[in-house]
Homo-oligomer: A and B are copies of this chain.
Amino acid sequence: MCQLLGMNCNVPTDICFSFTGFQARGGATDVHSDGWGIAFFEGKGTRIFLDPQPSCSSPVAELVRAYPIRSKNVIAHIRKATQGAIGLENTHPFMRELWGRYWIFAHNGNLLNFAPELDGSFVPVGLTDSERAFCWLLQQLRQRFGSNSPARSELFAALHALTLEIASYGEFNFLLSNGDCLFAHASTQLTYIVRQAPFTQAHLNDQDVTVDFSSLTSPDDRVAVIATQPLTDNEAWLSMARGTLWWFEEGEVVQSLATRPGPERKAG
């Protein structure tokens, strides 16, 4: 299984602290060493750093850890290959453009026999189930809404319906962002935390590093961090119920919807 990391904020924030712990999971404190990647939105623009090497020993990861890029939406991924060989074209996150905005996607899980019909508008370059799901998802969104971006609530409802379809093929934890919102699907495992005033100290799980957010933030800052497993050992991470789709915006949860039947999976 891979590792996902997402960040959604109300002011551009650097992810250096969280990435320091996350980076260690790619071959040092965990076994996910089949490449890694991270995408930053800066306004409508994006920067993606990809490396088919383990993140714990990647010079590109070292740059990302040390170079503070301020962003309102970040998606990172460490890969444990299931479908598709180790290679740059199979390294997450993936990017496409829809409605004049870049969309970034990373997946953790495994979809079995997911071979939807693609009309040529978004075609996978690599061989992963993940990129195939992403391409189909964007294709369906464009088919539904045409050339114009819908209202966000309509977009979230459509994404919910499409997630239900894809999730029937298997494990489908994902993070998706267009630079405004960050959408997260907890298929089997995903946690999050919203950091806001009063800010305190946080200590990483994966490395002995502490940060004092109170000295780095303003009182109005709000930062949601989403990860496969909690990144810190002294904060209250919230487990996202299996089968829930979440809409984060400006550092907080706007809405969540269940993607499986049954009362125990109903989203809060």
A residues engaging B (CB < 8 A)? 42-52, 59-60, 63, 66-67, 87-91, 95-102, 119-126, 142, 146-147
Contacts and interface: CB of A to CB of B under 8 A. Distances in A.
20 contacts: A42-B52, A43-B88, A45-B87, A45-B88, A45-B90, A45-B125, A45-B126, A46-B88, A47-B49, A47-B50, A48-B48, A59-B66, A60-B63, A95-B95, A97-B122, A97-B125, A99-B120, A100-B123, A101-B125, A102-B125
* Number of copies of this chain that the complex holds: 2
Contacts of A99: 120, 123
Contacts of A120: 99, 142, 146-147
A66 to B, nearest CB: 8
Contacts of A46: 88
Given A63-B63, A67-B59, A67-B60, A44 B121 contact: no
Nearest to A85: B43
A124 B60 CA distance: 28
Closest 6 CB pairs of A and B: A45-B88, A120-B147, A45-B89, A100-B123, A44-B89, A42-B88
A76 to B, nearest CB: 15
Contacts of A63: 59-60, 63
Contacts of A90: 45
A125 to B, nearest CB: 5
A138 B204 CA distance: 46
A62 B56 CA distance: 20
B146 A91 contact: no
Contacts of A121: 121
Nearest to A63: B63
Contacts of A87: 42-43, 45
Nearest to A120: B147
Nearest to A124: B100
A124 B95 CA distance: 14
A37 B61 CA distance: 18
Given A47-B88, A97-B123, A97-B125, 7 more contacts: A42-B87, A43-B88, A45-B88, A45-B91, A60-B63, A98-B123, A123-B147
Nearest to A89: B45
A34 to B, nearest CB: 14
A124 B102 CA distance: 10
Contacts of A98: 123
Contacts of A43: 87-89
Contact of A125 (B100, B119, B142): B100
